[in-house]
């Protein structure tokens, strides 16, 4: 047994980690792990340091990282104590980081206070429950390069030719081998000319030649139906994002209305400073 393993650990490690055989306490974020000239380094500090390690270290077990993180924190504190005043770049970076972290903390507090299952469900119901969701269409088409060829195909279909077989034989579109079937689609999913033609058709109807940026289409509307509201889980992320934006917009409007804010305009100062790193060397 080595000398290290036969002795109690020093005060610079978990105070609750005693000699072998004694129970370990569970640390809180405020548990003091080390002190450097009276400055405390806590479990919370090390936890945040661990979270910011490069990806290749994230899979290492905690006991393999323990001493190294303490060493890093102690060394950082020793070096930090030698600096009485930050240089301009460091000071500005720290101020920006502090502002950003405080803003993010307040945003998260607002979200936690106002976003929950009840409010999300209410927003979902307001948007989708009992409202018309528009139509969905199932259509097939035959795509050809010219109006003349499209007109010939319309005539063939009117004479009794099978649409799917004709599409497989003559369509230049990727759906041709599938009999021209495009499946179900809703508003905005097809080019405007195609959608306009489909909306005006009845199920079973075949269109005349329809031109789009892809060529000339002969379209058959197979079915049409009222679209169902999407499940909550399908639109949850979108709803939550929109709710967060609205929460922030409302809060910022309130804060800006009560704040004393002055700001420069392009008439006051040239924006060239934004790319002039030399300003930070003074």
User: What is the predicted pLDDT for the residue at 23?
Assistant: 55
Collapsed DSSP state (helix, strand, coil) of residue 78: helix
Exposure pattern of 14-52 as b/e (b: 16+ CB <10 Å)?
beeeeeeeeeeeebeeebebbebeeeebbbebbeebbee
User: What is the predicted pLDDT for the residue at 282?
Assistant: 63
The string of DSSP letters for 187-243 reads TTSS-HHHHHHHHT--TT-B---EEETTEEEEEEEEEEEEPPPPPHHHHHHHHHHHH
User: What is the predicted pLDDT for the residue at 4?
Assistant: 34
pLDDT band at 22 (very low <50, low <70, confident <90, very high): low
Annotated domain spans of the chain: 3-80, 91-131, 135-226
Across the chain, mean pLDDT equals 91
Q: Give the model confidence (pLDDT) of 74-106 as tens digits.
A: 999 999 999 999 999 999 999 999 999 999 999
Domain range 135-226, CATH architecture? Roll (3.10)
Q: What is the DSSP letter of 11?
A: T
C-alpha span between 159 and 206 (Å, rounded)? 12
Mean pLDDT calculated for residue range 155-170: 98
Q: Give the model confidence (pLDDT) of 223-281 as tens digits.
A: 999 888 889 999 999 999 999 999 999 999 999 999 999 999 999 999 999 999 999 98
Which one has a higher pLDDT value, 9 or 225?
225
User: What is the predicted pLDDT for the residue at 128?
Assistant: 86
CB atoms within 10 A of CB 69: 20
214 Cβ neighbours under 8 A, 6+ residues apart: 143, 173, 191
């Amino acid at each position: 047994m080595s000398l290290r393993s036969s002795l109690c650990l020093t005060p610079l490690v978990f105070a609750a980690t005693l000699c072998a055989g004694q129970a370990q306490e569970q640390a809180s974020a405020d548990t003091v792990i080390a002190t450097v000239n009276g400055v405390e380094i806590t479990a919370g500090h090390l936890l945040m340091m661990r979270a910011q390690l490069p990806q290749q270290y994230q899979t290492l077990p905690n006991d393999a990282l323990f001493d190294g993180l303490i060493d890093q924190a102690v060394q950082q504190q020793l070096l930090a104590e030698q600096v009485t005043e930050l240089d301009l770049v460091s000071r500005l970076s720290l101020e920006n980081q502090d502002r950003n972290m405080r803003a993010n903390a307040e945003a998260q507090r607002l979200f936690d206070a106002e976003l929950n299952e009840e409010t999300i469900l209410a927003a979902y119901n307001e948007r989708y429950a009992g409202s018309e969701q528009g139509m969905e269409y199932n259509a097939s088409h035959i795509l050809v390069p010219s109006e003349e060829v499209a007109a010939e195909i319309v005539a063939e279909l009117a004479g009794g030719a099978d649409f799917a077989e004709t599409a497989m034989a003559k369509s230049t579109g990727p759906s041709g081998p599938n009999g021209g079937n495009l499946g179900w689609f809703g508003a905005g999913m097809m080019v405007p000319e195609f959608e306009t033609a489909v909306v005006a058709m009845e199920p079973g109807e075949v269109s005349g030649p329809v031109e789009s940026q892809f060529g000339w289409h002969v379209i058959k509307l197979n079915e049409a139906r009222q679209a169902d509201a999407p499940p909550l889980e399908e639109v949850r992320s979108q709803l939550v994002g929109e709710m967060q934006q609205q929460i922030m917009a409302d809060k910022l409007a309130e804060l800006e209305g009560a704040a004393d804010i002055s700001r420069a305009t392009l008439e006051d100062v040239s924006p060239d400073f934004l790319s002039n790193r030399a300003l930070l060397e003074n």
